[in-house]
Structure 1
Amino acid sequence: MPRFTVIVPAFRVQAYLHACLDSVLSQSFKDYEIIVVDDASPDACGPIADEYARRDPRVTALHLPRNAGLGPARNAGMERASGDYLIFLDGDDTLLPDALRAIADRLGATGDPDVLMYDYARTYWSGRSVRNVLADRLDERGPASFRLADRPELLQLLMVVWNKAYRRAFVEAEGFTFPPGYYEDTPWTYPVLMSAGSIAVLDAVCVSYRQRRRGNILSTTSERHFDIFDQYDRVFAYVDARPELAVWRPVLFRRMLDHFSAVYASRDRLPLPSRPAFFRLAAASCRRHHTPGAPAPLPAQLRHGLMRLGARRTYRALAASRRLGHGLSRGAAALRRAVRSAALQAHYRIQLLLPLRSRDAVFATRGHGAYACGPAAIEAKARELVPGLRTAWLCRPVHAHTVPTGTQPLAPGTFAYWSALARAKYLVNNADFDRRLVKRRGQILLQTHRGTPLRTIGTDLLDRPAAARDTDFEQLLRTVDTWDFALSANPHSTLVRERAYPSAYTTLEYGSPRTDVYHRTGPAEVARLRETLGIPAGATALLHAPAHRDYRRVQRPVLDLELLVRVLGPQFVILERAPRTPNGSGSGSRTRTTTHPRIIDVSGHPSPETLALASDALITDYSSLMFDYVNLDRPVVLHLDDIEAYEAARGTYFDITSFPPGVVARSQDELFDIFTTDHWRGSRSAQLRAAFRARFCPYDDGHAAERVVRRVFLGETDGLPLPVPPSARRAVFPAQQNPAGARAGG
């Protein structure tokens, strides 16, 4: 008996069925069967199902003699099911990687409930993926399992069949089946949830819900949408036959009215001549099942009352007035934005006429992010060394708490923000300031960059459209022309950037200020950082920090971290840092699918330097973090399973496989072998790391920020701190004093 039966009804989904079935067959959890129900589909769904059944004994292809619809197709699959739990997956949707593992683990942790509810993300044709906006309803805190009465807010979630796993014995004991017709999920989902003796939730995205541009039921114009009335009649008949469920009637009545309103408001579902008849039937259904008592916002109460009375013309007038009101509100908001923007620019122009403030300095990072990276290190050293200096940090309000006392946080798009850009003498950034910035005579702009470049950058992207995307190269060069100084960590960076960013700025080959913290952080502080991140005492922490893939619209996981952490054993934890998007944020199109206790999501942490200090080793691919990390003299492992595709799309300045900072794995299996054999921290790894550090970190001695401040802010050209020879540099403490000595194992 398998743990899961995955039932996939298939009708006119030949373009998507391969991806659907592959998403199940590629799961790390293997204890399942798949039943593909070909609902007499006129396209190639049947042959595709037969092809998969021939290739894999876990797949059964079931062919219906005539088209019956989603409900009867699912019933046919249930009749053949033998798994402990039923999972329904539409033929145009997919499971996310490790979804079945997450579901299985949660079922085990909650005592095998009757129903487990999990989350989904809407995936659009463009590749954009958006998680369910009501995801907070799946909060796992509280009792492991419960009745619906304990968490009635679960009824606010999408009432569909495919975001839940159902214990088959429970379904069979209650005799649940799907009815024919559209909206067949309705008379299944409500009775199942109301009758379940135990429900549990999983706060993880398990299903990618494809939003097809055309062809799905919700965008089909047909009188079959009238089936919704029969489906709600079935729901209320179920409740009426069970007096103990009468308490749910007010909630169901409110949900029914909302559902009728949504169908009637949709321009795609009902044929125009059928709309009056739909409204009359909706009114009749409302009168038939009328059960007040569920709270609703005033506008909803008004709509519901008009629908119950059958007042269609008044209902339509109300809807038209609401649309008009929304339009006027949007217009007023746009006008307010335009007026404010004009006022801000007028203010900026006035500020440009006023004298510069010679003791003011403005700092920022890419995307107006948190206090971090090179600008933060330089800001801290400037406040220490430059008498009377006043500093400001440009950041979004959400990051204001990261700015230290004594430095003024300024939100973008405010009057204070534009005043600072107009009048501060010093401007420091690791990306670009607002393109409306007017560089004034006497202002000094320092570009710190973001690490040593392995990936192609700047004008070198001209012949790489996949990586360049919509880069405005003329604007890029105008921005470069505003630089007075550009910071470089090593000769390689100098040569690359002076070609990729051609202009008359002065290169300061002084090292990387953001690595200064590595040379002054002691073991007590490292221990505190590890505790703050939730790393257990004595554990070996691996920082996983992959780079953004330009050739992928959707950033998929590059490594099965759950499988890795199981291979490594209980003494290891993984710090997972999602790739940065081009605008500097965490990858919004990538959604975590698991909540494994030994995988700590640090994607939102503002400081990669802190993460590096707290970790024992780094797993990466093309991220510039590797150039900083080797200063810690801790192991680096490169996972380069897609290097050919990456180099074709983005390009690199040298062959990282011929001169790596540590051991290289070309596949996930090789990576596992590297850890299970301890090669990740062997002598060869140390030799590669030392050679890499000698080439790319000649000035990273803990004094890079001081050299920058003395040159840029104090105007000193002689007597700058000379780079400390590697042999004389302070030893960097390991993340833990006694790294886990046990060999990794299953």
Structure 2
Amino acid sequence: MPLISFVVPAFRVQAYLRECLDSILGQPVGDVEVIGVDDHSPDGSGDILAEYADRDHRVRAVRLPRNVGLGPARNAGLDLAAGEYVWFVDGDDWLAPDCLPEVAARLRATRPDVLLVDHVRVHWDNRVVDSALAEVFPDPPGPETFRLRERPEAMRLLHTAWNRLVRRRFLAELGLRFPPGWYEDVPFSYPVLMAAERIGVLDRVCLNYRQRRAGAITRTRGNRHFEVFAQWHRVFALMDEWGIEDLRPAVFERMIWHYLTVLGNGDRIAPELRPAFFARITADHARWRPPAGCPVPDGVDGLKHRLVAAGRWRTFSALRAAAQAGDAARRQARRLAPVARRTARLGRDAVLREYYRAELARPIDPTLAVYAAYWYRGYACNPAAVYEAARRLAPQVRGVWVVRRDRLDSLPPGVEYVVAGSLAYHRALARARWLVNNVNFPDFVRKRPGSVHVQTHHGTPVKVMGLDQQRYPVGAVGMDFADLLRRVDRWDFSVSSNAFSTQMWERAYPAAYTTLEVGYPRNDRLVTAGPDEVREVRTRLGLAPGERVALYAPTHREHLPGYRPPFDPGLLLDVLGPAGRLLVRSHYFHDRGRRSRGVGPVLRAGGTRVLDVSDHDRVEDLYLAADLLITDYSSAMFDYAVLDRPIVVYAPDWEAYRLARGVYFDLLGEPPGAVATSFPALLDLFRSGAVHSDAADAARRRFRARFCGLDDGYAAERVVRRVFLGEPA
């Protein structure tokens, strides 16, 4: 029998579920099981649970036939649990590293009915807030256990299911289950404390409670918050059934505190519902107040209690409004100083911004679509593929590209454009109906009502992105995450190449956009190109028939400016043989003026059989021309895998990269082909034939099945039909 059964319910948590499961399964404790319950989630949560169950015998995946809510989903997992203790961990939270040995040791040493563990709130902006445990227990009880009536202050800890482990047989003897509805923790967490003979407290942070920017119940307005009343009624009904009277004052005080917390949160109770919610608090105050009375808290909290008891909603509301007005005034004062400094700066930029604001007052052009890629570097990537599909499928849409003046030669003939920074550029941004980009438009661009912003992205992520970079500050120098999220809030659509990307984008860029999981438009050409097109591309690049062409495309290291992986093109060409040819492409960050720190030294060492293709505008040409790809942590591997040609991962700094920059999956454990972590090992892969081995082919098949299933040649068409033509998904 395992010591701990983790019950992990999952509903719309695909962006976070892997981190949750990894945090449990990666603990240095073996006698655990994980029961993942897919609560009929409409996203990929169920598939993730099934994936983990397939590869780890400790995981059991359950799919519910219909959505039942968090409480009943936990019950379904509890019914299957075999552990001595049960720990209910929500699918968007995660355990602290290496906490489980201490938890297990305390359980074995004291055998409590309930073990309370500490937690922290981790906000989306990476702020970490401690729990109230240090205030509730300034002198932690250590290994001793107690009953609630001996330490009633334990009720002041957060009333959640995930900050306590409960002995499974104790739960069965009580017959305690989670009820349906919101605030389902209340009639579970308090009763287990009231009934327990042995309560323990472990003064160690064991769980990270994720405070999501979007999608959390606590940040969702609606009348379902009224369900909190029924949940507290269940607590008092159990107290009456069990004949518990001495704890009634403490439970009553906690109930009123909880009601006022819900009411005071502007993200939960809409203004028009607040009088009715307050009236329900007053009714419950009269109904459940202990006969002998209840101590009234000091200060403002005590005033709130007295106003609730008297039913004085208008006075309560007026005091609340006054407090909010004071807070707003202080926030406004903090904002004014930087605004004043910005408005003092005059010049050409200020004139252009004024022109942009004037253009915002004019009507949106219902036919205009503005396209851009890679910070205006030219005509490329997913936006180019969408543009071409829109010209064919939606000819009524006028597409205009934003391009830097020094990159105008990248535009194909006949493509309408505006130069970045010009008056025409500001006019187009202000009046466009659609704005399509594979990065973000500048901060000054406003999201107009009626406009549609499409974020196509430009790769399947290996390295962490967006908000996840907060945990890896070495690779996020200079990033302003608040500004980033303001840009993300403009998105209406986020184009995703596969389910994995969808999950990572939702986690890295939490906002209210609609995900289009349709494949990458830029990869359509890789699917549809025939032998004639491949020959034509190779001829344009100066590649002779019969040459064995390798494309080397390393990625940029933000945390190591100027870094080049160790690479000797002459030695590589030796192992490729006399027919070998090498194409080298630097990352787009190594743009004009910075090429020398990209591939310049490599080229000088390679001779005429090495060709610099860093300036080639369409990377898809290079993929079609190459017989194999050598890369490290670049998203190029996901695109190139569409062609089902050999891929070699050359990762000489893998451990340093994953620690400093952060990665989303184990590239060396789930590679698209052969792997080398040193240059001599890379040469050996070619000498030994491992690049074309059965093992490399099998790895590529698994990789393609996971990441390339949507690349069928119609991704751009799916985007156009959804975005420009308004057809259903």
User: What is the TM-score of this pair, normalised by structure 1?
Assistant: 0.50
In 1, Cα distance between the equivalents of 2:414 and 2:547?
37
SS of equivalent to 1:367:
coil
Alignment partner of 1:526 is 2:534:
yes
- Whether contact under 8 Å (2:526, 2:643) holds in the other structure is yes
1:427 match: 435
Q: Which amino acid in structure 1 is aligned with residue 704 of structure 2?
A: R
2:716 match: 705
SS of equivalent to 1:630:
helix
1:417 match: 425
2:583 match: 575
- Whether contact under 8 Å (1:367, 1:584) holds in the other structure is no
Name structure 2 gaps, 5 residues minimum: 1-344
Q: Which amino acid in structure 2 is aligned with residue 619 of structure 1?
A: I
Aligned-pair distance for 1:670? Answer: 1.3
Alignment partner of 1:644 is 2:655:
yes
Using the TM superposition, name which of 403-412 and 572-581 deviates more: 403-412
Match of 1:488 among 496, 499, 507: 496
Using the TM superposition, name which of 586-595 and 574-583 deviates more: 586-595
In 1, Cα distance between the equivalents of 2:548 and 2:373?
31
2:631 match: 620
In 2, Cα distance between the equivalents of 1:553 and 1:434?
24
In 1, Cα distance between the equivalents of 2:473 and 2:432?
37
Give per-residue Cα distances to partners, 1:456-478, cap 9 Å, x unaligned: 10000002111101000000000
Relative to 1, partners in 2 of residues 1:630 and 1:586: Cα closer, same or farther, differing over 3 Å? farther
Alignment partner of 1:446 is 2:454:
yes
In 2, Cα distance between the equivalents of 1:658 and 1:701?
27
Give per-residue Cα distances to partners, 1:64-98, cap 9 Å, x unaligned: xxxxxxxxxxxxxxxxxxxxxxxxxxxxxxxxxxx
Alignment partner of 1:682 is 2:693:
yes
Give per-residue Cα distances to partners, 1:416-469, cap 9 Å, x unaligned: 000100001000000011111111110000000111111110000002111101
SS of equivalent to 1:622:
coil
Match of 1:548 among 544, 551, 556: 556
- Whether contact under 8 Å (1:390, 1:407) holds in the other structure is no
Aligned-pair distance for 1:404? Answer: 3.1
Q: Which amino acid in structure 2 is aligned with residue 653 of structure 1?
A: Y
Alignment partner of 1:389 is 2:397:
yes
- Whether contact under 8 Å (1:366, 1:583) holds in the other structure is no
- Whether contact under 8 Å (1:372, 1:606) holds in the other structure is yes
- Whether contact under 8 Å (2:365, 2:433) holds in the other structure is yes
1:379 match: 387
- Whether contact under 8 Å (1:355, 1:423) holds in the other structure is yes
Alignment partner of 1:669 is 2:677:
no
In 1, Cα distance between the equivalents of 2:592 and 2:466?
16
Give per-residue Cα distances to partners, 1:649-679, cap 9 Å, x unaligned: 1111110111110011121111111111222
Match of 2:358 among 344, 350, 355: 350
Give per-residue Cα distances to partners, 1:271-311, cap 9 Å, x unaligned: xxxxxxxxxxxxxxxxxxxxxxxxxxxxxxxxxxxxxxxxx
Aligned-pair distance for 1:681? Answer: 1.8
Aligned-pair distance for 1:398? Answer: 2.8
In 1, Cα distance between the equivalents of 2:417 and 2:406?
11
- Whether contact under 8 Å (2:584, 2:599) holds in the other structure is no
Alignment partner of 1:467 is 2:475:
yes
Give per-residue Cα distances to partners, 1:622-642, cap 9 Å, x unaligned: 000101111101000011111
Alignment partner of 1:503 is 2:514:
no
1:654 match: 665
- Whether contact under 8 Å (1:578, 1:586) holds in the other structure is no
SS of equivalent to 2:597:
coil
The two structures, once aligned, show a CA RMSD in angstroms of 1.8
Which 4+ residue blocks in structure 1 deviate beyond 6 angstroms? Answer: 582-586
In 2, Cα distance between the equivalents of 1:579 and 1:389?
32
SS of equivalent to 1:366:
coil
Aligned-pair distance for 1:551? Answer: 2.9
- Whether contact under 8 Å (1:542, 1:616) holds in the other structure is yes
Aligned-pair distance for 1:585? Answer: 9.1
Aligned-pair distance for 1:405? Answer: 3.7
1:154 match: none
Aligned-pair distance for 1:604? Answer: 1.3
In 1, Cα distance between the equivalents of 2:592 and 2:473?
19
SS of equivalent to 1:507:
strand
Alignment partner of 1:590 is 2:598:
yes
In 1, Cα distance between the equivalents of 2:650 and 2:631?
6
In 1, Cα distance between the equivalents of 2:711 and 2:593?
27
Alignment partner of 1:608 is 2:619:
yes
In 2, Cα distance between the equivalents of 1:507 and 1:514?
17
Q: Which amino acid in structure 2 is aligned with residue 497 of structure 1?
A: W
Q: Which amino acid in structure 1 is aligned with residue 677 of structure 2?
A: R
SS of equivalent to 2:638:
helix
Q: Which amino acid in structure 1 is aligned with residue 719 of structure 2?
A: V
1:693 match: 704
User: Superposition pairs for residues 127-206 of structure 1, below 5 Å?
Assistant: none
Q: Which amino acid in structure 2 is aligned with residue 507 of structure 1?
A: T
2:127 match: none
1:736 match: none
Q: Which amino acid in structure 2 is aligned with residue 629 of structure 1?
A: Y
Aligned-pair distance for 1:615? Answer: 0.4
In 2, Cα distance between the equivalents of 1:513 and 1:631?
12
Alignment partner of 1:537 is 2:548:
no
Q: Which amino acid in structure 1 is aligned with residue 708 of structure 2?
A: C
Aligned-pair distance for 1:338? Answer: 5.4
1:564 match: 572
Relative to 1, partners in 2 of residues 1:453 and 1:591: Cα closer, same or farther, differing over 3 Å? closer
Q: Which amino acid in structure 2 is aligned with residue 355 of structure 1?
A: P
In 1, Cα distance between the equivalents of 2:358 and 2:494?
29
Give per-residue Cα distances to partners, 1:340-377, cap 9 Å, x unaligned: 32332221111100000111000101121121100000
SS of equivalent to 1:407:
coil
1:143 match: none
Aligned-pair distance for 1:411? Answer: 1.0
In 2, Cα distance between the equivalents of 1:407 and 1:519?
24
SS of equivalent to 1:435:
coil
Q: Which amino acid in structure 2 is aligned with residue 548 of structure 1?
A: H
Give per-residue Cα distances to partners, 1:218-256, cap 9 Å, x unaligned: xxxxxxxxxxxxxxxxxxxxxxxxxxxxxxxxxxxxxxx
Relative to 1, partners in 2 of residues 1:578 and 1:387: Cα closer, same or farther, differing over 3 Å? closer
Relative to 1, partners in 2 of residues 1:543 and 1:487: Cα closer, same or farther, differing over 3 Å? same
SS of equivalent to 1:657:
coil
Match of 1:457 among 461, 465, 474: 465
SS of equivalent to 1:664:
strand
Q: Which amino acid in structure 2 is aligned with residue 397 of structure 1?
A: R
In 2, Cα distance between the equivalents of 1:566 and 1:545?
19
Match of 2:415 among 380, 401, 407: 407
2:52 match: none
User: Superposition pairs for residues 41-56 of structure 1, below 5 Å?
Assistant: none
In 1, Cα distance between the equivalents of 2:434 and 2:596?
33
SS of equivalent to 1:462:
helix
Aligned-pair distance for 1:711? Answer: 0.3
User: What is the TM-score of this pair, normalised by structure 2?
Assistant: 0.51
1:256 match: none
Aligned-pair distance for 1:684? Answer: 2.0
User: Superposition pairs for residues 710-721 of structure 1, below 5 Å?
Assistant: 710-717=721-728
Name structure 1 gaps, 5 residues minimum: 1-336, 719-746
Report how many aligned residue pairs link the two structures.
Answer: 382
SS of equivalent to 1:428:
strand
Percent of aligned pairs sharing the same letter: 45
User: Superposition pairs for residues 64-463 of structure 1, below 5 Å?
Assistant: 339-463=347-471
Relative to 1, partners in 2 of residues 1:454 and 1:586: Cα closer, same or farther, differing over 3 Å? farther
Aligned-pair distance for 1:562? Answer: 2.1
In 2, Cα distance between the equivalents of 1:438 and 1:410?
19
- Whether contact under 8 Å (1:640, 1:665) holds in the other structure is yes
